[in-house]
Amino acid sequence: MPLDIKNFPLVWMSYDEAPDHDHDEDFAALEVCLKRGAPFVILSDNAPTEDEDHDHSQEERKRTALWMKKHKAELRTLVLAMIVIEPSAAKRLTFKTFSAVFSKFWGFPLKTTVTRKEAMDVAENLLSEGMGPGGSASQRRCAQTS
């Protein structure tokens, strides 16, 4: 899952990776984003659904879970959402079904859009709310859910 952080706070995640891809680089890039201390969104236009072939080894899943637990508070506070661009209605439905599990694990919502423009609009809205007056994004999220 290579990350492009050049346009922070818009962080692009790709699932096109070479067989020898180093996931430590991905975690390092996420840590750079977290250390900035500013809200951001993760976007992807090629995220696989659960049904598609994107399995991780037991070791990779364990490493991901340990990394996530270590950074749980920062992830919940700073990552406003992962936005997946998916033109297929069937695949969007699959993502919607998976979104509750995703959010529970990662601590931030999974949103789907049909187009890149729609994704950018959603990201812009989230970022303007996350950086605006009236507290942090996590404080507003708590207020909205209570």
Q: pLDDT grade, residue 146 (50/70/90)?
A: very low
Mean pLDDT of 2-19: 84
Per the structure block, which two tokens stand in for 123? 């990201």
100 backbone dihedrals φ, ψ, rounded to 5°: -65, -45
Sign of the alpha-carbon torsion through 102, 104, 105, 111: positive
Separation between Cα atoms, residue 110 and residue 80, nearest integer Å:
9
φ, ψ for residue 144, nearest 5 deg: -70, -30
Cα–Cα dist 84/88, whole Å: 11
Q: Which residues contact 86 (CB under 8 A, 6 or more apart)?
A: 47, 92, 95, 112, 113, 114
pLDDT tens, position by position, 67-115: 888 999 999 999 999 999 999 999 999 888 889 998 998 899 999 999 9
19-74 tens-digit pLDDT: 566 778 888 999 999 999 999 999 999 876 555 445 667 777 788 888 888 999 99
